[in-house]
Structure 1
Amino acid sequence: MISPRAWLHRYPREAWLFLAASFLNSSGSAFMWPLTTLYVHTQLHRSMTEAGFVLMLQSLAGIVGQFTGGSLFHRVGAKRLIVGSLLLQACCMLGILLLGNWYLYIGFMIGLGFLFNVSNPAIQAFIGFRWKEQRRELFNIVYVGNNLGMAVGTALAGVIAAISFHFTFLFNGVSTFLFAGFFFFFMRNMSHDELVGSMSEKTEKRSQGSMRLLLRYQIYLFMALGSAFIFFSTTVWNTGVAPHLTSSGMPLAAYSWLWTINGIVIFAGQPVTSWLKRLVKQNLSSQLVASA
């Protein structure tokens, strides 16, 4: 068994700094997004149908953001893309805080959906290029850390929102702004190749038959359909459970505690999932099918 000291030295110091910043950012983000539906319904006095419509527009903008972020990653560079989109996200959140107009709110939420999906894939790609040898382990640690941050943030979100919804936007905007500042200084002395990979690496990957893999559309179709079904069910639940709890007379804190429990289960369940992987010892494709 690896000791805590050995485990800490297993990854570079800069990787731990990145994980800490990512944890704080996810904690700040959790102040706002679980309570979006309630904010629209209770503060802007709009129907649940309108709240769902805004979330739909935000998701559609996110799809455009995914394509935009992917196409701009190598052209613009990781630093400008990540820092710029995070700063604009912070401005959108502070705009919601300062301007309570319904139509401006819709515009800001569409902007948030677009910008988040511009920055998030770029951050994931940055992890893969920066720590190539440990990318798989670090992706998992970032995922767990983000969910732990979500558990902390949502535990406080309901309490803060009960005082004022404006504080949730303020904390989210400030944490995103600090995350942008972290990336600005973190990437300051890194070369372009360190951030997005060198041209020789890209050429080598193409020569190893990566185009043949792209033609195997069944893999991507399976993953896309599976993800679509999962996101559809969780989005319907997430949108409906908030007003259901409040209409039942429960406080906002009850809803935030649900997300806190979710984050704790993901964090505490990691040893169980690791044990199952060692026990079954199947390849990654089999693990995906089994979990689905």
Structure 2
Amino acid sequence: MLKKHALDPIKLIWLFAGSLIINTGVSFIWPLTTIYIHNYLHETLTIAGIVLFINSAFTMVGNALGGFLFDKWHPYQTLLTGVSISTLSTFLLVLFHGWPAYPILLITLGLGNGIVVTGLNSIATLIRSRNASYVFNVLYFTQNLGLVFGSLMVGFILPFGITYIFLLAFIMFAFLSIVVFLEYRGLNQAHAAKGKKVAESEYQEKIPYGAKKAIFSILICVLAAWITYEQWNSNISSYMLGLHMSVRLYSLLWTLNAVLIVLIQPLLTYFDDWLTQHLHGRLYIGFSLFGLAFLLLIGANHYFSFVLAMAVLTCGEILAFPAVSTFVNDRASNKDKGKYQGIVQSVTSAGRALGPLIGALVIDNFSYLVLFIFCTVLVLISVLLFAMINTYNKKKIAK
């Protein structure tokens, strides 16, 4: 039986609110990056791509740093540090958003956000009133809900000027700073209590070798999935435009993605206990759908093919991504749970950084057809490796 919420380091509502606020704030900025650099600052698309790559790299550094500081330093101060960097970066963007101030501040914003996102996921490992899988599911829901809110608001605010976009982002991060400062104070005490418990017991002090292999294999799945996912953010848009489909039709695919997540994710959360009991199957099916979605694009000439592929991809995303954090959390040692949540986020950032580059190289040297086949094979091979390692671990335990 789970303990009462009074034993949670913070109230769940404030954890979920923090996730919603930061993802809403981020979504005011990231969708505009390429357009702003190319159309407003008059830099090349190559420069825009380089800026996005460096931003992802610094987000990855922030993810790793956030997980390390959460475990080895103080969780509360770690969250405050990350949100302070993000708040200061957005404040300076309101005042200075020319070249090169914009890309520099975008990079520092990525660093701060990386620390905060990992910190929020790491807090889920300290919650006692709910299963970790439930918390990760709701965090994934609030993350996407924030992206929906932010993206919709950008369309209404941008005509008034880009400065108002940065101002709104600053307001969101300033609000998050207040929430963290006032409501996250109990983190250090809970973390210290967990550290004392770990010190008094050798239970899970070290991760078994089989568990390390399982974590490594699921991280390969995450990397493969995000490399392929980023094709939808970059190269597939060009492919659709080449088929004389409009930007509006392309953007509607992301509306479909968001709507499916907002509608289906709460349903999965309701059946969380059953899904947790079948965690491996959930991951196998989720990542397999990710790969199979690209098969639907082979020879695709009609918009419905893209709609169907996006729907399949989104279903795979909903099943797999929140379950990864649960899978890793179950196998990480008590003293390193924040570190491993940071690694999950770092691998995600690495996939986001590498995806557009790898996709462009495949298209330039071969074709879109080869890209779609490559994406399918890459994901399915990673799933096969994950399944083989899990099967081997089960047989070893059974002996």
- TM-score, with length taken from structure 1: 0.81
Distance in structure 1 (CA, Å) of the matches to 2:215 and 2:77: 29
DSSP-derived class of the 2:234 partner: helix
Answer whether contact 2:144 2:262 (CA < 8 A) is retained: yes
- State the Cα deviation string for residues 6-54 of structure 1 (Å, max 9, x = none): xxx9x98932243234323322322221221111111111111111111
Q: CA deviation at 1:140?
A: 1.0
Asked whether 1:223 is paired with 2:218, we answer yes
Q: Structure 2 counterpart of 1:231, which letter?
A: W
- State the Cα deviation string for residues 262-290 of structure 1 (Å, max 9, x = none): 22210101366468988888631222122
Counterpart of 2:257? 262
Distance in structure 2 (CA, Å) of the matches to 1:93 and 1:273: 35
Counterpart of 1:173? 170
Distance in structure 1 (CA, Å) of the matches to 2:121 and 2:147: 18
Answer whether contact 2:34 2:49 (CA < 8 A) is retained: yes
Q: Structure 1 counterpart of 2:167, which letter?
A: L
**Of the candidates 38, 43, 48, which is equivalent to residue 46 of structure 1?**
43
Distance in structure 2 (CA, Å) of the matches to 1:160 and 1:249: 26
Answer whether contact 2:83 2:177 (CA < 8 A) is retained: yes
Which consecutive residues of structure 2, in runs of 5 or more, have no partner in the other structure?
Answer: 288-399
Counterpart of 2:60? 63
Root-mean-square deviation (Å): 3.3
Distance in structure 2 (CA, Å) of the matches to 1:187 and 1:216: 31
DSSP-derived class of the 1:45 partner: coil
Answer whether contact 2:138 2:269 (CA < 8 A) is retained: no
Answer whether contact 1:78 1:196 (CA < 8 A) is retained: no
Distance in structure 2 (CA, Å) of the matches to 1:244 and 1:158: 24
For residues 215 and 287 of structure 1, do their structure 2 counterparts lie closer, same or farther at Cα, with a shift above 3 Å needed?
A: same
Consecutive aligned runs of 4 or more in structure 1 exceeding 4 Å deviation = 240-251, 253-258, 271-282
DSSP-derived class of the 1:198 partner: helix
**Of the candidates 227, 234, 245, which is equivalent to residue 229 of structure 2?**
234
- State the Cα deviation string for residues 80-120 of structure 1 (Å, max 9, x = none): 11112112111112222321332222221221222211121
Which consecutive residues of structure 1, in runs of 5 or more, have no partner in the other structure?
Answer: 1-8
Segment drifting more, 278-287 vs 14-23: 278-287
Distance in structure 1 (CA, Å) of the matches to 2:63 and 2:41: 29
Q: Structure 2 counterpart of 1:60, which letter?
A: A
Distance in structure 2 (CA, Å) of the matches to 1:254 and 1:165: 24
**Of the candidates 94, 100, 107, which is equivalent to residue 97 of structure 1?**
94
Asked whether 1:141 is paired with 2:130, we answer no
For residues 259 and 95 of structure 1, do their structure 2 counterparts lie closer, same or farther at Cα, with a shift above 3 Å needed?
A: farther
Q: Percent identity over the alignment?
A: 22
- TM-score, with length taken from structure 2: 0.61
Counterpart of 2:78? 81
Counterpart of 1:161? 158
- State the Cα deviation string for residues 54-89 of structure 1 (Å, max 9, x = none): 111111112222222222224431111111211211
Asked whether 1:187 is paired with 2:184, we answer yes
Q: Structure 1 counterpart of 2:122, which letter?
A: A
